[in-house]
Structure formats: structure tokens, C-alpha cells
Amino acid sequence: MSATRFAPALTIALLTGPVIAGCIGIVLPAFGYLPALGGLALSLEPWRALLDWPGLGIAVRHSIATGVSATGIALFITLLILAAWQGSRVFVAITRALSPLLSVPHAAAALGLAFLLAPSGWIARALSPWATGWQRPPDLLIVNDPLGLTLIAGLVIKEVPFLLLMSIAALSQIDSGRTLLLTQTMGYGRIMGWVKVVLPQLYPQIRLPVMAVLAYSVSVVDMAMILGPTRPPTLAVQILDWMGNPDLAYRFQASAAAVLQLFVAAAALLAWRLTEGGVAQLSQRWLTAGARGRHVDRVARPVALGLAGLSVGAVAFGLAGLAVWSFAGLWRFPDLWPQTLNLQTWDRQATGLTGAITQTVIIGLLATGAAIVLTLACLQAEYRRDAAVRRALLVLYVPLLVPQVAFVPGLTTLTLIAGVAPSVWLVALVHLVFVLPYVFLSLSDPWRTWDRRAGVVAHALGASHSRVFWAVRLPMLSRAIAVACAVGFATSVAQYLPTLLISAGRIDTLTTEAVALGSGGNRRVIGAYALAQMLAPFVGFALALGIPALLWRNRQGMRVT
Amino acid sequence: MTHYHTADAVTRVVSEKTAGRDTGGAVDAIWINGANFISMKENGLLFGPFAEELPNWRYVDTTANPAVLTDFTVPVEGFGAPWAMFQMVFEYDSASLSEPPKSAVALTAWASANPGRFTYPQPPDFLGTSFLKQLLYGVLEDPEVLQSAIVDTDYEAVTAPLWAYLDNLHPNLWRQGQVFPENEPALGALLADDEIDIAFSFNPGRASAAIADGTLQDTVRTYVWDAGTIGNSSFLSIPYNAANKAGALVLANLILDPEIQARAQDPAILGFQTVLGMDLLGVEDRARFDALDLGIATLPPAQMGTALLEPHPDWMTRIAQDWTARYGTAP
């Protein structure tokens, strides 16, 4: 197992290399240097062009406003659910209901939400005409609203499950259950006690995931294309628009905008961090003032439950609506249900879908396979060596904190210059940059908390390090590994920007197709692709839970409880 | 066989030329129009002239249908063979609208009486800018000016009526013009969802095809404006360095074959408008077209009205930019 010694270094290089290269690849063209397109001298022309674009101020404002609000609201809902229900049976039910949402790709969730909320969507249909009197869809601006409210809603329903699961993992590090009990015996309400005692311990543990959510939200592309403002769109969407302009001269301007996006994200992160400090300062007296706040529980507990239900419901009904659309014949407003159901859409899309599924699965398997090998090697290295490795591996978060739209275009430019033809290998390699952090995040906790005594016993029986790894640790952690693979696969399936840009639009995956179709408004075809896009990770998770169970069906001790 | 986007195919030929690969090129035939055609023709990247030498050229009606001879104002001069006609038609739901507006002026009047029931795709989308060109024909005293490149001093004066028209129209659009559908499918979906009463398309058979599909209500019909609607012809060109020129020529000729044109016009197959002149065809071939069921919403050729020529490409680019500055970046 001496190879594991190099694993952390290799992993860090594989993750940070593309990010750094990508950043260089946009910074140079942002200042006019890109010989392949005739930019031979440094200039400020791209910045001048960018500043001349009349929508710049609003686009930046859209990005910050939607990203920061979405993060704030998602965090608030997450904490409210935790404060109101942690430790109860209801809490287990909430997490069970929310966690599948984690695997739903952002684009699929957005398309479903768009159908649900549109004036001609399912909610309006369900209420018309009996409650609303609407015989025709009302002329209301909901999806693509200029304030980005629908985009915020979309981001929130996708980020709450992520933050909740990250928090649950973090809570196991602090003795929250007993602390909470103590506050209650001192007369604090459940929520007040949680906020005053558990939250200050929990927040530092989930700061990094919160920051990742913030960085993601201010720079998201696929969800913003489907739900976000359009006149102008958010900065990230506009960058993509310029990157895809047939007039290659727009690449310079797009690069300058990508650099700006980097600053926007950095500014948002910094502002968030400063606000954190401010809140901590200001709340100090309140925390110790002794107000018990028992009345809060009566109102806030049902509210928390309602918000959790709303998140689950929005995604579930949105996707169910798209599923129905994919089988729908004529389906006029305000009918709640199509007049006829048929297989025509699936039949017609069969060829395209099969192709997209194949590409999606191949890329997903390549990226996930590489990620799991690297993760295991890193964890093994960390286990056998020291905490320095563990600290170094914090670098894994880098690709989650640097906006994709800020460095993937640069990476694309570099592959162009290097003359590397787009291929599934190249796409998978870039997916790895995003898949690996999530695989690592989901596997590291179970790996680190593995009962080492099993290893000690095996060593005592004469097993070598590598034999302990292969014959004891891997089998015992097979379920955690399978779940990490499923998480990685789901991450790969959901990648829009890297797939689109790195493949130069030549490789169609379920996600690139679903997002491209999203603008077209053919709900039947959108429904088919969104459904397939959602089912791909779902199958991954089903296999992840099924295979270990099947493998160890005659091992009493390995039974999943 | 590889499918490229037109721009990719053009880029491919350009890079082959740069690399000195003057024979055995990768692209044998391209469906090409507008700016791409002009740039390839002017840079000597097209093989030809060949179109008028094709045996089936005799069926092409160049008198009644001059659009087969020019592409966005640029004379084709045989460097492209026409293979289908496209013409803008408006689509309306006859169940809720009996007399649709048939001119630019009538449209604003109707929109102010029926706010929120009309919209168009957001420029620079192709169909969106085409609608603006259609409006230009409607608001200009002398649309002839559109047939040549923009003379800078003219631009402001020529387009001023267009912007005045839009300023007036926008508050009465779907969602008060605060948001626009992205493209043709999105516009069609709004009609199917009954969110709007009038849509439009460059394919006169689109509505019929959608009705046949069961994705559009069967009360939708199409119509054209009294003064005509923008039309264009799609062309097939052959790169100067094509490896299989003979095969490309056979293909170009075959696509002009009356039997194949009739098949392409069948709404169940493609629903494209033919480039052939009916009175140039033999009895048997004409019968093929007569036998076609064009679909419930498709206008017969005689009712398609005048096909207005596409303005010079300059206009599209400049107007799209201006539109974005005026309406595309409002908060």
C-alpha cells in the first residue's frame, strides 16, 4: 500500500490544478491576451466592453441578491428544523423525506418547480376555475421574475437537504442531545435552548458547507437559466451566453466577466463572514440574558414542519407534474389532468434519450470510479500517517468555493489552445474535480469512525496492513463506500457547465439536454428528460443500498438496520 | 456522416483553408444561410456556380419566387441550391379570436384591447429579430432601404418608427413585456397553454404538425399579414474543397426532384414548403402536391400572400443590439 503515500498529493494536484489553470485561462483573455483568437497584447479592452454593456450593474445585483438570500433562507430553514425537532421521531421522518432531494439534479428540480409555479402550471390548474375563476392562465410574472424570487425558491429547496445532512453529521461531533436536555431542565424552550447553546457550537462545524452553498448560489448557471431573471440574466448566465456566441470576439468580454464573477463570489463570502462576526458580537448579551422563550416553540415547531413539507412537496409535485407531461396528449388549461395519456413522447425521444443516458452513465462511472479510488487512497494514507494529511485535504473544498463559471471557461480555452479534442475522458476528468469533494465528504466520516479494534484483532492474527484494508475494512465499510459512489455519480449526473463547455457542446448528457430543452417550453420532452435525469442518480442510490445488502445477505453482523 | 452545426462546419472549412487543405475536405454539403453564406461566398470558400446547371433546376420558379435567387439580399449566383421555402405565418386560436389583426397597426390596436395576449421571442433570438424585421416592413414608408447595408446616417431615422411602435406595444404584451419567451418552441408552448392568443412561426406547417401531434388545440389556424410576411429560402452549398463534390451535386439535384419535394411538403414527413413552381411541373408531379393533406391549420399556397424579402443581414445584427440596450437590460 505504499502507493497511498502519494495519493493525497496526487488528489490535491488533480483538484487544484484545473482550478488554477482555469483561472489563468480566464485572467489572460480578460486582459486581451489569447493568441489563438488574435489577442497578442495586453489591453483593458475586454473590461471596457464589459463596462459598456448596459446590463452589468443589474446582472451583478441579481447574482448577489439571489445568491445571498437563497443561502440565508436555506440556512434559516435548516436551523429552524434542527432547533424545533432535533432528536424527535418527527425529525427522523423529516430527514428521511428530505434526503432523497439531495440526489435530484438542480436542473430537474428547477424544471419541476417552473411547471408547478407557472400561471399555467399545476397549482393554478388545481385552483382553477373553482377557486380563482380563471378560465385562462392569469397574466402573472412568476417564473423568471425580475427580483429572482423563483430562483431563490429553487435554490432553497435544493440547499436545505444539503445543509441539513451536513449539520446532522456535524452534530455527532458535539454532545448536543444532553446539552439540549440540560437547557430544558433549566426552563428554556426547546428552540430557545437549541439556539443559545447548540447553535454556537454547531455553526463553526458547518461554516464550510454554508460557504460552499453561498459560492454556488451567487454563480449558479443551470437553475438561473431556467428560473432566473432574463432582462438581463444573472452575471453567470450572461457569461455563458457570451462564451457561446458564434462571434469569438465575445470570449474576451466573457473572460473579463468571469474574473468579475470571481470577485463577486469572493465579496459575498467575505461579507458573509463579517456578518457572522457581527451577529456573534451582537447576540452575546442576548445569549446570556436568560430569556427562556418557551412560547416560541408553539409557533415555530409547526412552521418548521410546514417549511420542510413545502420543500419536499415542491420538488415531488414538480417532478410528478413533469412525469405526467411526458405521457400527456392534449392537456389544456385549466384541466388538472391530460385528456389522453400516451407513449408518443417517450417513443420519439427514445434514440436521443438512449444516447444521452449512455454518455451520462459512462462519464459518471469514470469520474466516480476515479474519485472513489483516490478518496480511499487518501483516507488510507491519512489513517496510516498523520493529521497533516487531514489538514491538507481541506483543499478538497477549493473547487466548491471557486465559482464554476469563473474557471471552467478558462479550462475550455486551455484545451482549445492545447488542441485537445473534446472527449468523454476529458469531460470525466473535469467532472472528477467536482465529484471528488462530495465522495470524500460522504465517505470520510464513516471511514474515520470505523472501529479500529477490528483492525487490531486482524493484525494480531497476522494480517498485513494491506490485508486488513482489503479483507476487513473495505467489506465492513462497503455500504458507506457504495453510498459515497452514489453521491459521486449523482454529482456527475447533475454537472451542466463543465459538460457543456469542456465538450464544446458535442457531448449530450441528460443534464445538458434537459437544460437546453428547458428554454424551449416543450413540456412533454422536458418532462421525459427531467425524469430520466432524476432517475439516473436514483438508480445509483438504489444500487448503493441494494448491492451491499445482497453481497452480505448471509452475514448477520453486516445486516443493515 | 457527421452532423455539425452550420457555424462549426464553416469553422471547419475555414481552418482547412488556413491549413492549406484545398482538396479532400471533411464537409461535402452545408445547409447555409445569411451571414454564414455571405462570408463563405465572399471568401471564395464555396464551390460553384452549380445550382442552375442541375437538371431539376427547370422546376424551380424563379419569377414567382425570387427568394430562391437571393439569400438575405445577397445574390446566390448559383453557389447554393434552394431546397425549402420558409415564410412567417401567424398562428391564432380561432376559438377565442375571430378576426386576427393582419398588419402592424392592427396588431397594436388589438393588443391594447387585449393586453397580455401577445408576445415575441427575446432578441437576439432568430424568430424574435425576424418579427422586428416584419414590423419594420409594417412601419416604414419605403422598405426598399432594408435591401442594402446600413448607411450609418440612415439607421436612427429608419428605425425610429420601430422603437416608437415597440414603446407603445410593450406595456400590452404578455407579462407587460417584463419577460419574453426565449425562442420559437417557447412561443408555441405559450399558445398551447392558452397563455397567449397569437403566436408565429417561420414554418407554415408548424401549427398543423403540432395539432396532429396532439400538442396544440385543433382550433388553431394560421394567417399572414395583408402586406405579406418575411420569407426566405434555405440553401444547400458545397465547400470549395469538398472531398465528394459529385455526390453533393447528386444530392442537391435529388432534393429538387418533384417527388422528393412533395414528400418533404407532407406534414407527416417534414411539412416544408416547396421551392418548385406548380405550373412548371408535369401532370403527374402536380398531382402529388395536390394530393397532399397540408393539415387543418396550414394555408394553401395560393393564400400565402407575398413573401417579403429578408433585409440585409446588417439590420438584424444592429437592431438586435439596439433592442438589448433598450429593452433587454431593464430591471
Q: Would you say residue A335 lies in a domain?
A: no
Q: Tell me, yes or no, whether A346 and A282 share the same domain.
A: no
Contact B185 A146 (CB under 8 A): no
Whole-Å CA distances, B289 to A379, B116, B251, B297:
72, 39, 21, 17
What is the CB-side half-sphere exposure of residue A450 using CA atoms within 13 A?
A: 24
Cα torsion angle, A248, A254, A258, A263, sign: positive
- Tell me which chain B residue has its CA closest to the CA of residue A233: B329
Q: CA A281, CA B43: separation in Å to the nearest integer?
A: 68
**pLDDT digits 0-9 by tens, B107-150:** 999 999 999 999 999 998 889 999 999 999 999 988 888 888 88
Q: Tell me, yes or no, whether A200 and A307 share the same domain.
A: yes
The structural domain count of chain A equals 2
C-beta neighbour count of A548 within 10 angstroms: 20
CB < 8 Å to A53, chain B: 329
**pLDDT digits 0-9 by tens, B181-217:** 988 989 999 999 889 999 999 988 889 988 887 888 9
Segment among A334-343, A385-394, B80-89, B266-275 with least mean pLDDT: A385-394
Query: B217 phi and psi, to 5 degrees?
Result: -65, 145
- Residue A243 is predicted with a pLDDT of 83
Contact A58 B175 (CB under 8 A): no
CB < 8 Å to A505, chain B: 5
Q: Is the peptide bond before A498 cis (omega within 30 degrees of 0)?
A: no
Who contacts A246 (Cβ-Cβ below 8 Å, separation ≥6)?
B7
Q: Which three cell numbers stand for residue A323?
A: 412525469
Instruction: Label residue B19 by pLDDT band (50, 70, 90).
Output: low
Q: Tell me, yes or no, whether A203 and A132 share the same domain.
A: yes
CA-nearest of A255, A241, A239 to A32 is A255
Do A317 and A157 meet the contact criterion of CB atoms below 8 Å apart?
no
Q: Which of A293, A324, A355 is the last residue of a domain?
A: A324
Q: Tell me, yes or no, whether A428 and A487 share the same domain.
A: yes
Residue A486: domain span: 1-31+342-560
- Residue A3 is predicted with a pLDDT of 67
User: Tell me, what amino acid is at B136?
Assistant: L
Q: Which of A294, A324, A354 is the last residue of a domain?
A: A324
Question: By percentage, how much of chain B surpasses pLDDT 90?
Answer: 49
Instruction: Label residue B153 by pLDDT band (50, 70, 90).
Output: low
Q: If interface means Cβ-Cβ distance under 8 Å, which residues of chain B face chain A?
A: 5, 7, 115-116, 122, 174-176, 178-183, 185-190, 193-195, 213-217, 324-325, 327-331
Q: Would you say residue A434 lies in a domain?
A: yes
Q: Tell me, yes or no, whether A414 and A480 share the same domain.
A: yes
Q: Which three cell numbers stand for residue A269?
A: 463570502
Q: Would you say residue A378 lies in a domain?
A: yes
**What is the domain-level CATH number for residue A427?**
1.10.3720.10
**Torsion angle defined by CA atoms of residues A79, A83, A84 and A87, in that order, rounded to the nearest 10 degrees:** 120
Could you tell me the strand order of the sheet in which B220-223 lies? B198-201, B89-93, B220-223
Contact A54 B325 (CB under 8 A): yes
B188-210 CB burial, b ≥16 within 10 A, e <16: bbbbbbbbbbbbbbbbbbbbbbb
Instruction: Label residue B154 by pLDDT band (50, 70, 90).
Output: confident
Q: Tell me, yes or no, whether A318 and A425 share the same domain.
A: no
- Residue A37 is predicted with a pLDDT of 65
Q: Tell me, yes or no, whether A172 and A235 share the same domain.
A: yes
Contact A519 B215 (CB under 8 A): no
Q: Would you say residue A389 lies in a domain?
A: yes
What is the CB-side half-sphere exposure of residue A88 using CA atoms within 13 A?
A: 13
Q: What is the mean pLDDT of chain B?
A: 88
Instruction: Label residue B277 by pLDDT band (50, 70, 90).
Output: confident
Whole-Å CA distances, A220 to A228, A237, A404, A534, B267:
10, 8, 8, 19, 41
DSSP A327: T
- Residue A561 is predicted with a pLDDT of 47
ipTM over 0.90 threshold: no
What is the CB-side half-sphere exposure of residue A522 using CA atoms within 13 A?
A: 19
Q: Would you say residue A157 lies in a domain?
A: yes
CB < 8 Å to A55, chain B: 324, 328-329
Per-residue pLDDT of chain A (561 residues; tens, 9 = 90+): 466 778 888 888 888 899 999 999 899 989 988 776 667 788 999 999 999 998 999 999 999 999 999 999 999 999 999 999 998 899 999 988 888 888 899 999 999 999 999 999 999 999 988 988 898 899 999 999 999 999 999 999 999 999 998 898 888 778 888 888 888 898 888 899 999 999 999 999 899 999 999 999 999 999 999 999 998 999 999 999 888 776 677 888 999 999 999 999 999 999 999 999 999 999 888 888 878 878 888 898 999 999 999 999 999 999 999 999 999 988 888 899 998 899 999 998 999 999 999 999 999 999 999 999 999 998 888 776 667 777 777 788 888 899 999 999 888 878 877 777 788 999 999 999 999 999 998 898 888 888 888 889 999 999 988 898 888 888 888 889 999 999 999 999 999 999 998 887 778 999 999 998 887 778 899 999 999 999 999 999 999 888 888 877 777 766 554
The secondary structure element, H or E, covering residue B230 is strand B229-237
Q: Tell me, yes or no, whether A170 and A81 share the same domain.
A: yes
Q: Which three cell numbers stand for residue A16?
A: 487544484
DSSP B25: B
Q: Which three cell numbers stand for residue A226?
A: 431556467
Q: Would you say residue A20 lies in a domain?
A: yes
The 3-class SS string of B54-95 reads CHHHHHECCCCCHHHCEECCEECCCCCEEEEEEECEEEEECC
Q: Are strands B229-237 and B30-32 parallel, antiparallel or unpaired?
A: antiparallel
* pLDDT of B1 strictly over 60: no
Contact B194 A333 (CB under 8 A): yes
Q: Are strands B307-308 and B70-71 parallel, antiparallel or unpaired?
A: unpaired
- Residue B300 is predicted with a pLDDT of 82
Q: Tell me, yes or no, whether A282 and A181 share the same domain.
A: yes
Helices and strands: H and E segment counts in chain A: 26, 0
CA-nearest of A253, A159, A242, A219 to A407 is A219
Residues 115-144 of A with CB under 8 A from B: 119-120, 136-137, 139-141, 144
Who contacts A360 (Cβ-Cβ below 8 Å, separation ≥6)?
A492, A493, A509, A510, A511, A536
Q: Tell me, yes or no, whether A360 and A232 share the same domain.
A: no
CB < 8 Å to A137, chain B: 193-195
Contact B181 A521 (CB under 8 A): yes
Who contacts A397 (Cβ-Cβ below 8 Å, separation ≥6)?
A208, A212, A437
Q: Would you say residue A337 lies in a domain?
A: no
- Tell me which chain B residue has its CA closest to the CA of residue A119: B195
Instruction: Label residue B3 by pLDDT band (50, 70, 90).
Output: very low
Who contacts B69 (Cβ-Cβ below 8 Å, separation ≥6)?
B62, B75, B76
Give the one of A231, A246, A522 whose C-beta lies nearest to B329's C-beta: A231
CB < 8 Å to A140, chain B: 175
Q: Would you say residue A38 lies in a domain?
A: no
CB < 8 Å to B215, chain A: 330, 522, 524
Who contacts A281 (Cβ-Cβ below 8 Å, separation ≥6)?
none
CB < 8 Å to B186, chain A: 519-521
A419 and B CB contact within 8 Å: no
Cα torsion angle, B145, B146, B147, B153, sign: positive
Whole-Å CA distances, A325 to A331, A353, A513, B190:
8, 16, 17, 15
Q: Which of A277, A296, A324 is the last residue of a domain?
A: A324
Q: Are strands B74-75 and B81-87 parallel, antiparallel or unpaired?
A: unpaired
Q: pTM above the 0.90 mark?
A: no
Q: Which three cell numbers stand for residue A290?
A: 436568560
Q: Tell me, yes or no, whether A320 and A391 share the same domain.
A: no
Q: CA B281, CA B59: separation in Å to the nearest integer?
A: 6
Q: Tell me, yes or no, whether A299 and A346 share the same domain.
A: no
